[in-house]
Amino acid sequence: MTLQVKKAGGKRAWVAGALACTFSLPALAQSTLTVEQLQQRLEALERQVGGTLHVSENGVQGEPGLGDVDQRLRILERKLQLQQEDQAAKEKTTPVVSVGDKGASLKSADGNYEFKLRALVQGDGRFFFDDDTVPQNDTFLFRRIRPTIEGSLGKLVAFRLTPEFAGDSATIVDAYVDVKFNPAYTLRVGKVKGPIGLERLQS
C-alpha cells in the first residue's frame, strides 16, 4: 500500500505512525485473546485439581500475563504429577474387595494373598393340599449347607475348607492344602474327592 503526502516531513511521519498502529492493533488483540483463552483453560483445570493461584511476574496479584500463565501451568503440571504418584502408591497398598454372584473375596494389592467366601444351600420342601387332618405329611429340610472358605498364601500355597452342616451332624466335605511348585505341577494334601470315581457322583 502506497500513500503520498505532500505536506511537510513531520506530517508525513505522523501519518506513517498512525498507519503502523492501525495495522498492529489486530495482532495485539489476537495475542490478548490467546492469553485470555489460556487463562480460562487454566482456571478450569485448577478447579479440577483444587486450589487457584494468582501470581503475577512481580509476585503480586494482578492481571494475568504470559509469565503468569506459564508459572501457573508449571504449578498445575506438578500438582497433576503428585496426584498420579499418590494414586499409584495407593494402588500398590490398597486391597481389592469384591462381592458378586460367586461370593465375596478379599485380595491384596499385589495379588499374592487372597481370601474367598461362598456357600451352597439346597432345600427340599414337600407340602400337600387338603391334608389338614394329617399335617405331618408337610416336610421341609436342608439337603446341603456348605460354606466354602478358600484362598492363597503367596504364590506357593493355596487352601480350601468346605464343611457340611445339613443332616444330623456336621461333616467335612473338602479340607486340603495345595503346594504349587509351578503351573504344571501341584501337590494336594488333605481330604478331597478324587477326580474320577463313585464318590464324585454322590451328593
Quote the cell numbers at residue 107. Answer: 485380595
pTM of the model: 0.50
Looking at residue 101, its pLDDT comes to 85
The residues that bridge with 139 in the sheet, in sequence order, are 126
10 Å Cβ neighbour count for 174?
Answer: 17
pLDDT of residue 8: 42
Contact, 164 vs 173, CB < 8 A? yes
Burial (0-12, 13-18, 19+ Cβ within 10 Å), 191: exposed
pLDDT score of 145: 92
Contacts of 66 (CB under 8 A, 6+ apart): 35
Asked whether 116 and 104 are in contact (CB, 8 A), the reply is: yes
Question: How many other CB atoms are there within 10 angstroms of residue 72's CB atom?
Answer: 21
> What is the number of residues in the chain?
203
C-beta of residue 147 within 8 angstroms of C-beta of residue 118: yes
pLDDT tens track for 42-86: 777 667 666 554 444 444 344 455 667 677 777 877 777 788 777
> Which runs of consecutive H residues, i.e. helices, occur in 1-156?
9-49, 66-93
Mean pLDDT (10-residue bins), the chain, 203 residues: 44 45 44 62 68 46 59 77 77 81 88 91 85 75 92 92 89 92 86 73 59
Q: Which of 32, 27, 76, 69 is nearest to 51 (CA)?
A: 76
How high is the pLDDT of residue 135?
A: 67
Q: Which residue has the cell 387338603?
A: 130
